[in-house]
Structure 1
Amino acid sequence: MLLIGMAASPAQAATPAANGVYTLASASSGKCVNISGSGTGNGAVLTQVACDAASSAQQFRVVAQNGAYGLVNVNSGRCVDVPNYSPDSGVQLWQWTCGASANQTWTFSPSTVADRFLVRSAQSGLCVSNKDGSTAGNNPIVQEACSDIARMQWRFNLVSGGGETPGTTLKVAADGSGQYRTVQAAINAVPSGNTSRVLISIKPGTYREIVTMNKPYVTLQGTGSSPSATVVVNNRSAYTSGTSGSFTAQISGRDAAVTNLTISNDFDENSTPDGHQAVALRLDSDRAVLTNVRVLGDQDTFLLGDSARAYMKSSYIEGTVDFIFGGGTIVFDNCDIYEKRSTGGPITAASTLAAKTYGFLFYRSRITGSGTNNTTLGRPWRPDAQVLYRESTLSGTIRTSQPWTDMSTNSWKNARFLEYRNTGAGAGTNSNRPQLSDSQAANYTPQKYLAGSDGWNPV
């Protein structure tokens, strides 16, 4: 990253690449993208001003993410962002806390004019544009339907870095065709003080290992056609390692991302006399995003540590007893949750601390199982456990008359167990099924669960 105060070298047109720092000059005005007022907070908008390569408010670091790129402002450390995931043309872009989300991900397409690129949003499909092609200072930078015209053509002027460097994308392949044969070896190669997104690309195959990902801003991405093509698996259990130490993968580095792979614990419960808890994924990361992931196990499959704050989308989790448990905060959005034991069992065992408003939210997800009318939505591991099933489809596997149960001396009636507008054969209302009112539901959205003190919104 450019050290503020150093003399900048003359602007040099470049092909944008990860780890390079650039100014972005409009072909229609010759002016550069700037964070208005050199703002450092969320919501500061993008404008154009006379180019000054030494101004950190005009400098953007390109980082690899989601198979494309993010743009991090050097002055603020925040990312170029489409406000509120808007799909609308004409919306002025702003900066927001980096989360490697779709509305902060951009593709760079070469223009028909040499040394110019179109910058397209992965979320909206619209392109970064100098509004109306104006030459005026402080003119808004907006998103518009893409067209290879001057106001959407950008010249990336190199300030520092020089593009992709070793470590930006690390390739793992068990057959030796990558840089590393194991996932853990690639993680070990990431600097402990890492400050920008590192993609660990994992070739399809089975990786029987223990993975500990404690570095920030790391993405684990399977490169197969589906998450089942890339499997990280082990078979430790509480019998040898204790419940919390039995994980196949532990993710604790902040701003972690996992996509398109399977994390599994295939421990055989018949192999030990007790200690059958066997965690597949232990998640302790703040601001983690998991997309198109499978988490497989039996008892205690997925542990959310107290410090975890996570968003999981379009994913699949299966188990038998308490297979989603812990004190973290997580939103399951459009996920499939499967009780694999025909005799049923409790899906969740939340241990939300009393001081925390939010625990687990199952949002517009599908809850299914192999049994009928014998699976419960959860039980309280701590007395103040908080779980909400909202606008989800509950199959006939759910025990309709009594979907919540006690755990030890903790009564489900004293826990914060809730439902809202669920459907399906396992849904219903009675005195054992507390429901949110419409007015209460406004405070139990995915955004509310995840906002925290920093306004994080990966939804």
Structure 2
Amino acid sequence: MSEHRRRPARSADPTAPATTTTSPDRTSPAGAARTGPRHRRRAGAAFAIGLPLVLTAAGTLAYGTDLGLFGAAGQARAAAATVTAPAWATASADGFASVDALGQNGTYGGRDGRTVTVKTLADLEKYATAAEPYVIVVAAAITMDPVGKEIKVQSDKTIIGSGTSGQIVGGGFFLGQGVHNVIIRNLTIRDAYQGVWNDKEHDYDGIQMDGAHHVWIDHNDIRHMADGLIDSRKDTTYLTVSWNRLSQENKAFGIGWTDNVTADITIHHNWIRETEQRNPSTDNVAHAHLYNNFLEDVAGTDIKSSYGNYSRGRTNMVLENSYFQGLTNPVVRDATATLVQRGNVFSATTGKNESGGTGAAWDPRTYYAYTLDKAADVPALLKSGAGPRTSLGTTSATTTATGTAPTTATAKAAAVTTLTVAKDGSGQYTTVQAAVNAVPANNASRVVIAVKPGTYRELVKVPSNKPHVTIQGTGGSRKDTTIVYNNASGTPKPDGSGTYGTGGSATVAVDADDFQARNLTISNDFDEAAHQDIAGQAVALRTSSDKVFLDGVIISGDQDTLLLDTASKDRLGRVYMTNSYVVGNVDFIFGRATAVIDKSVITLKKRWNGTSAGYVTAPSTAANRKGILIANSTISGDVSDRSFYLGRPWHAGGDASLDPQTTVRNTALSAAVRTTPWTDMSGFSWKDDRFAEYRNTGAGSGAASSDRPQLSDSQAAGQEVADWLGDWTPTAS
């Protein structure tokens, strides 16, 4: 299963004539190319160099000698503080973002202001849009509402993730005309994808800059957005983009949307993978310095690069010591552009690899100091060092959104234990279950099981006496870390005591409250075609607890993929899944839980024999409880039209007292959905239970009828996500 569906057409063809390099939405007036430097270096300033691998692995950063400096106002505040500001709160940029120009002396963000910690969208927006400087520590996964929202960041801000917990989900940031001195660092910005590859309808970027200057984008993981990951537009200049992971996207990094040739940009030490185009596409940039980047076209995925680094229009690019793996057209130049290559490595690449041009030669060291890493070392260096660092944004020096320093007791209560799993022995454990076993019984605080990329063929059970556990993949994609097994309901147990049964077949079984899973795949790959002699219900994930948070995961199987249950009929079990994928064919989201599938993709899959017929949900809801809510999502797949029901009532064990419920609302339905989307099950009529829709769209949606109940507006007001979750607000921790 792929997270994306590619469209055959590509929008930015590097073979197009030069006249196509001007985008139709440009509004800036034409300007003459600049012929000489217009900036100056700061006296005595030191600049970032390529980080040695040993420092990167340890999470140590050394960005210049001015890390501890404050402005006058900042010194006064620092003198009155009871804690010392950490280096990351006062860090300044390297590259072109470090150059003094346009009245701005380098890029140091909000270091002259107060440091605040935010965990909500309201607080993040409040401080990011404020007029005064702030260092804003993002200490939770913050979901944008509405999806695609881009916070309009104002000048003099540092926005930094706290360790690996700072995430922006379903949206990003916008820096408008004249906004300057902004640092965006150590964040995961992800999952605004709306199900359309090369999406031209939703302009949902990770970071978009229109006419900004002096911006540093560093150590972020930006992936799976609707339009592009980074857009530097309309004469944005003095920009440095460094040490980021950019992945899972059609358009990685676009630069231009202007006829002027005035921008100066540095792009170094970025790992760009699983992207098709704009890697980056650099249009009409006066000085573009790209060095020590790793561009990787990952083998075996359905995302194929159309080009790598692209010097467009009248760009003057210097490209040094980068590593290109498996790319088609790794380096492309317009006839009007200039491109100088030095020391790059090309492995298994095909197509265009160009350089040359008539532009004036220039040396980046005229503007700033830097040191190159060896190109051969770049893949290992960036695999270990790009993206969020656990050492950044984490210290007792930060304050809460109210401006008060956390107490020692609060800091201890918020402590998180991390256990590392790696198949190759480089972690504390080689299996996920071994790490779960190491969690103390009745643990009082969060334990994060960080699972390195790989396929872990094992059964995992989180028992009820081990709450507050997070299992989190550490790869650049949720597909990098997979937990998989192949038990089915009819699979005999090894001890001869019978078969596993449906619930017992689960690859991962969670009986503990306050469980979280993030950035990984959980799968059951039972081969139904080869084992028609046994019952084929094969669960990938079973939960039977309360406050289960599934964020950025893939749950994949065939029949009975995702069992969302409760500990007993009289117990509440709430599940919130967001920004995720569920794959299956028969009753593949089912159970007794009060469960929300929000902002996710439900992928319909053909049966083992190639036929298209199935059921998305099979709720088994207790009376007076809420069942399954699918909201703001997409239901589609490579199956026949009108072949899948949205659901049917599962009265488990023939229990007539149950009152199954599925509501599907504000969701895009493909033509695979039947025109009569609900059906009976085991002698129980769906019309006696609770099945309804509200404001769905797409070819599979339909008007209200006796066979297709639709909620009224007043009914829908009582069937929102918050109504399902009650007093629980899911927060990544």
TM-score, structure 2 normalization? 0.43
Alignment check: 8 A CA contact 1:101 1:458 kept: no
Q: 1:180 aligns with which of 421, 429, 439?
A: 429
- Aligned equivalents of 1:185, 1:173: Cα separation in 2: 11
Amino acid at match of 2:618: A
Alignment check: 8 A CA contact 2:456 2:483 kept: yes
Q: How far did residue 392 of structure 1 move?
A: 0.1
Q: Does 1:283 align with 2:543?
A: yes
Q: Does 1:199 align with 2:448?
A: yes
Judge which range, 266-275 or 226-235, deviates more. Answer: 266-275
- Length, aligned pairs only: 342
- Aligned equivalents of 2:452, 2:592: Cα separation in 1: 33
Q: 1:332 — aligned with what?
A: 597
Q: How far did residue 414 of structure 1 move?
A: 0.8
Q: 2:524 aligns with which of 265, 281, 294?
A: 265
- Aligned equivalents of 1:388, 1:164: Cα separation in 2: 36
Q: How far did residue 438 of structure 1 move?
A: 0.7
Q: Does 1:212 align with 2:444?
A: no
Q: How far did residue 233 of structure 1 move?
A: 0.5
Q: List per-residue Cα deviations over 1:344-395 (Å, max 9, x = no partner).
A: 2111110001121x11111110001222111100000025111010100000
Q: How far did residue 330 of structure 1 move?
A: 1.1
Alignment check: 8 A CA contact 2:161 2:167 kept: no
Q: How far did residue 219 of structure 1 move?
A: 0.8
Q: List per-residue Cα deviations over 1:300-342 (Å, max 9, x = no partner).
A: 1110113431110111111111111101011111111112014
Cα–Cα, structure 1 residues 347 and 158, in superposed 2: closer, same or farther, change >3 Å? closer
Secondary structure of the equivalent of 1:219? strand
- Aligned equivalents of 2:477, 2:661: Cα separation in 1: 32
Alignment check: 8 A CA contact 1:278 1:297 kept: yes
Cα–Cα, structure 1 residues 164 and 381, in superposed 2: closer, same or farther, change >3 Å? closer
Q: How far did residue 122 of structure 1 move?
A: 5.3
Matches within 5 A, 1:413-452: 413-429=687-703, 430-451=705-726
Amino acid at match of 2:635: I
- Aligned equivalents of 2:667, 2:411: Cα separation in 1: 47
- Aligned equivalents of 2:478, 2:406: Cα separation in 1: 35
Q: 1:410 — aligned with what?
A: 684
Cα–Cα, structure 1 residues 294 and 118, in superposed 2: closer, same or farther, change >3 Å? closer
Q: 1:234 aligns with which of 481, 485, 491?
A: 485
Alignment check: 8 A CA contact 2:678 2:686 kept: yes
Q: List per-residue Cα deviations over 1:183-239 (Å, max 9, x = no partner).
A: 000011011111111111001101011000121111111011111111100111110
Q: Does 1:88 align with 2:337?
A: no
Matches within 5 A, 1:30-429: 82=120, 87-89=125-127, 102=141, 168-214=417-463, 215-239=466-490, 240-269=499-528, 270-306=530-566, 307-341=572-606, 342-356=611-625, 358-369=626-637, 370-382=639-651, 384-400=659-675, 402-429=676-703
- Aligned equivalents of 2:402, 2:411: Cα separation in 1: 25
Secondary structure of the equivalent of 1:185? helix
- Aligned equivalents of 1:304, 1:348: Cα separation in 2: 11
Amino acid at match of 2:578: K
Alignment check: 8 A CA contact 2:589 2:617 kept: yes
TM-score, structure 1 normalization? 0.67
- Aligned equivalents of 2:640, 2:527: Cα separation in 1: 21
Secondary structure of the equivalent of 2:539? coil
Q: 1:66 — aligned with what?
A: none
Amino acid at match of 2:472: Q
- Aligned equivalents of 1:396, 1:268: Cα separation in 2: 28
Q: How far did residue 88 of structure 1 move?
A: 2.5
Q: 1:53 — aligned with what?
A: none
Cα–Cα, structure 1 residues 332 and 159, in superposed 2: closer, same or farther, change >3 Å? closer
Matches within 5 A, 1:7-22: none
Secondary structure of the equivalent of 2:725? helix
Alignment check: 8 A CA contact 2:414 2:445 kept: no
Alignment check: 8 A CA contact 2:119 2:140 kept: no
- Aligned equivalents of 1:439, 1:164: Cα separation in 2: 40
Alignment check: 8 A CA contact 2:488 2:538 kept: yes
- Aligned equivalents of 1:27, 1:236: Cα separation in 2: 59
Amino acid at match of 2:706: S
Q: How far did residue 84 of structure 1 move?
A: 6.2
- Aligned equivalents of 1:329, 1:425: Cα separation in 2: 28
- Aligned equivalents of 1:413, 1:163: Cα separation in 2: 49
Judge which range, 153-162 or 406-415, deviates more. Answer: 153-162
Alignment check: 8 A CA contact 1:27 1:152 kept: no
Segments of structure 1 that go 5 or more residues without pairing to the other structure are 1-25, 33-78, 92-99, 105-116, 128-147
Q: How far did residue 89 of structure 1 move?
A: 3.8
Alignment check: 8 A CA contact 2:522 2:540 kept: yes
Secondary structure of the equivalent of 1:238? coil
Cα–Cα, structure 1 residues 243 and 119, in superposed 2: closer, same or farther, change >3 Å? closer
Q: How far did residue 297 of structure 1 move?
A: 0.7
Q: 2:53 — aligned with what?
A: none
Amino acid at match of 2:526: F
- Aligned equivalents of 1:192, 1:394: Cα separation in 2: 44
Alignment check: 8 A CA contact 1:118 1:153 kept: no
- Aligned equivalents of 1:200, 1:444: Cα separation in 2: 34
Q: 2:316 — aligned with what?
A: none
Cα–Cα, structure 1 residues 272 and 85, in superposed 2: closer, same or farther, change >3 Å? farther
Cα–Cα, structure 1 residues 28 and 419, in superposed 2: closer, same or farther, change >3 Å? farther
Q: Does 1:457 align with 2:729?
A: yes
Q: 2:190 — aligned with what?
A: none
- Aligned equivalents of 2:725, 2:480: Cα separation in 1: 30
- Aligned equivalents of 1:392, 1:273: Cα separation in 2: 37
Secondary structure of the equivalent of 1:413? helix
- Aligned equivalents of 2:613, 2:477: Cα separation in 1: 28
Secondary structure of the equivalent of 1:87? helix
Cα–Cα, structure 1 residues 27 and 152, in superposed 2: closer, same or farther, change >3 Å? farther
Q: How far did residue 118 of structure 1 move?
A: 8.9
Secondary structure of the equivalent of 1:174? coil
Segments of structure 2 that go 5 or more residues without pairing to the other structure are 1-76, 84-116, 130-138, 144-158, 174-181, 184-397, 491-498, 567-571, 652-657
Q: How far did residue 244 of structure 1 move?
A: 1.0
- Aligned equivalents of 1:207, 1:102: Cα separation in 2: 26
Q: How far did residue 343 of structure 1 move?
A: 1.6
Alignment check: 8 A CA contact 1:231 1:262 kept: yes
Q: How far did residue 288 of structure 1 move?
A: 1.2
Cα–Cα, structure 1 residues 254 and 101, in superposed 2: closer, same or farther, change >3 Å? farther
Alignment check: 8 A CA contact 1:286 1:310 kept: yes
